Structure 1
Amino acid sequence: MLGFKNFRCARIILSGIEVMHMIAKGQMQTGVDQKRSAAEQFYELAI
């Protein structure tokens, strides 16, 4: 594995991975609708 090029990129990638794990475990709290799929929650965060 080549590793990360700099600390900023590593932080962004690892935080994204952590968010995906939280979504998969159902730990993300959204105020509007609790019945969204993991993909819908991720797309909402991306926009």
Structure 2
Amino acid sequence: KLESLPQVAMSLNTRPRKALDWLTPLEKFATQLVDYHMAFETVAPHV
């Protein structure tokens, strides 16, 4: 059965990885996004 590209991407991005301390790539990305946002707010609040 052929899977669509979005289904394959979701499958890979929601699979825990040892290299990411058993987080999924999606969880790691979300964590980094929040960290970046918090750092930016500290440097330039309300820009």
TM-score by length of 2: 0.49
Q: Max radius of gyration: which structure? A: 2
Instruction: Judging by fraction of residues, say which structure has more helix.
Output: 2
RCO comparison, higher one (Cα < 8 Å, 6+): 1
TM-score by length of 1: 0.49
